[in-house]
Structure formats: structure tokens, C-alpha cells
Amino acid sequence: MLVLGIIPARYASSRFPGKPLVDIGGKSMIQRVYEQAKKCDHLTEVIVATDDARIFDHVTAFGGVAVMTSTNHHSGTDRCAEVALAHPQYHVVINIQGDEPYIDPEQITKLAACFATPDVQIATLVKRVKTEQELHNPNTPKVIVNKLDEAVYFSRSALPHIRGEEPQNWLEFYPYFKHIGIYGYRADVLQQITKLPISALEKAESLEQLRWIENGYRIKVAETDLETYAVDTPEDLELLK
């Protein structure tokens, strides 16, 4: 099975312009993500997908592989689909977040391993919620998982609602999971889901994976114990340093 790792990276972030190129201990963020991804033996190739020449030139300068993509994409998934279409030899595509400079290669391996089962269409990772702050933080999407280890629903709210109990005590009554935002897709499924129109649930929660569920696609989940540290703002970068 040939697996392509793609790192979408764009320069024009509203909250942190130029984020992929910021320095973290002598290396750019995108270089750190790329080098971590390259450590994963399950990836046949790793490519940075960008719409900005500055990022493209930087990646090629440190010896990485980059491709230029359209400036019209609305998500990293769309950017991955464009690259995957130009590389039809790959069976599975892993969408690696470009703002997690210390992503553990074990997480990529765990995700890629999901596709050893032939009927897996899409896969992602989840992690057990440990704190009340995480549980009730709308910036931390939660996942309801069924007995087949598939995602039933993603929400910014804490679901399920524990009837008759105070919200601060909910973790005592149910094993909540948060979403770790790395995805894997069968190559053909990736092309299909990017052609779907925005759905009502996706619009309500601002979570694109709900579009896939609404249209009948199944999302396999694997549990990880490893934490991820994303950089969304300059403040996040200072905390990481």
C-alpha cells in the first residue's frame, strides 16, 4: 500500500500571517513538521502543498518536496485532493497539519495502520478528554464513537449531555474523546468528498467532517495517548517556546 503524506501550508492566515515560516529554535515551523513526518516509515513520500512562492522556495531550500496549488481552496482537504489527483499511484493520503511542529510520527503510523482494513474510507485520531476545561472548550471538537470505532458525530459542545448531573461532573459518567485533527483518506474517497456541497451540520458547527458523515461516509477512529500542540496564534507560539 502506497501512502502519500501531504502537509497543506498557506501564508495568508487571518490569525497568524506567515505562520509556516516562523522560527522555532532555529528551524521554521514547516520544516519541523516536514522532518517529523519524514520519520514515519508508513509514508512513501511527503509533500508540502502550498499556494505561496515563499513557502515553496523555503521548503525546496531545506531539501524538502513542495508543490504549488490553487489559491482558491477553502480547506486543507481541498488542497490535498489537488495534489493527490496529480499523484494517482498512491492508495492512501494522510493530511498532516502544518501547524503542529512536534507531531509524533507514531500518530501518523497509527492513522495509516487503519487502512490495513480494506473497507476503511476515512480515518482520524481521538484522545480521551481528561479535564473539564477541555470538555467545555468550544475550540476543542469532541467526538462520539460507536462500538465499531467509527465517529458518529463531531461537536464543539460536550456530547452526550449527562441528564441530571452538573456539567463539571460529566467526566465521571462517560468517556469523552476530543478530536486530533489529522486525517487519512482512500485516494478515491478524497476526490469524492471534496466535490460535496457544504452541509447544514458543517455550517452549524464549522466542522467539515460533518459534511462527510451527513453524506454517508464512515470515519474510522483510532485512539492515541499522545498530545498535540497546534500553533494558531502568536500567543500559542510563545507558549510552545
Virtual torsion, Cα 50, 53, 59, 61, nearest 10 deg: 170
With bands split at pLDDT 50, 70 and 90, how would you rate the model's confidence at 241? Answer: low
* pLDDT tens sequence across 127-156: 999 999 999 999 899 999 999 999 999 999
With bands split at pLDDT 50, 70 and 90, how would you rate the model's confidence at 33? Answer: very high
Domains in the chain, ordered, with CATH? Answer: 3-240 (3.90.550.10)
- The predicted model gives 94-98 an average pLDDT of 95
Question: What pTM does this model have?
Answer: 0.93
Contact, 82 vs 8, CB < 8 A?
Answer: no
Place of cell 496564534: 233
Which one has a higher pLDDT value, 233 or 168? Answer: 168
- The predicted model gives 81-96 an average pLDDT of 97
Angle between helical axes of 53-61 and 29-38 (0-180°, round to 10)? 50
Q: Report the chain's C-alpha Rg in angstroms.
A: 18
